[in-house]
Amino acid sequence: MDKILSNIIGTWQVSVPTPFGINISNVNIKSIEPFVSGTITGERGSIDFDNCIVSGDTITFCVTVNTPIKATLTVSVKVIDDKFQGTLEIDQYTKLPIIGKKNVDL
């Protein structure tokens, strides 16, 4: 496993500021080479994703949620050491900033 991929793998605490307040969730990213997948866990439960694209220090994945509305979320973040930042796009209409910190106490 290369250094960039090893930086991506692990548990992240993720924050997304929304019009309704800050949404905080945990993202667990794992790898069984050459595939990268994970699980997002938040106040509305958990959802798996397995369509990750890792390009250099950037990871991108999509997930479809059904609550509070059905929507496709596309996450694209740049990983720098134990932090990341990027965007969360909702159905190609709304982009929100997203930040994360790795290896939080859960």
Q: What is the pTM of this model?
A: 0.85
pLDDT digits (tens, 9 = 90+) for 1-51: 577 778 888 999 999 998 788 999 999 999 877 788 999 999 889 999 988
For the chain, what percent of residues have pLDDT higher than 90? 57
Following DSSP, what letter does each residue of 29-55 receive, concatenated?
EEEETTEEEEEEEETTEEEEE---EEE
Beta bridge partners of 76: 60, 87
